[in-house]
Amino acid sequence: MGQDNCKPQPGDLIEIDRPGYQHWALYVGDGYVIHVTDEGASSISLSSSSIHAKRAKVKKQLLKVVVENHNWRVNNKYDCSFTPFPVKEIIRRAEQRIGMEVQYNVLTNNCEHFVTELRYGVRVSEQVEKAAAGGAAAAVGGIILAGAALIGKALSEGASRR
């Protein structure tokens, strides 16, 4: 599969569709991206899935290798909210981290946090914010349903006592 829009430029954020989540990388030119992955990281719990990694490794790899057969797109969606660093600065910041092992947490320090920090100096992950909002909505919905069930039970018990 391939890209959904124009050819990436150095400094662009690349969003890769993976089953259940988006993986993020930073395009640095000549077909390469820099991203965090659990491949080669020293401490991983439960499985080799990056969802369970506690450490991740910063790698420079060909975009086509990272993408595999998934869809991807250039997505600099935070440009409206934050000012990107100059391209040379973005690339310099990214290349300094190649080969480093970094802390990884799917909720607080994931691949999207990593690339947004490189591009903007701000760590942000909309997919985590959406998941948290969805979880909060589900929790509120569950509370409402539980409350309705209790009220319904109380009403039916009251009616059977009459």
> Cβ contacts of residue 5 below 8 Å, gap of 6+?
73, 74
Total residue length of the chain: 162
Tokens describing residue 57 = 């490794």
CA atoms within 13 A on the CB side of 5: 11
Q: Round to whole Å and give the CA distance between 122 and 84.
A: 10
| Cβ atoms of 14 and 63 closer than 8 Å | yes
Q: Choose, from 23, 35, 52, 80, the residue flagged as catalytic.
A: 23
Indicate if 80 belongs to the active site: no
Could you say which DSSP state residue 83 is in? P
Indicate if 70 belongs to the active site: no
Q: Choose, from 35, 52, 111, 113, the residue flagged as catalytic.
A: 111
Helix (H) or strand (E) holding 25: strand 21-29
Tokens describing residue 48 = 């080799």
- Residues recognised as catalytic: 23, 111
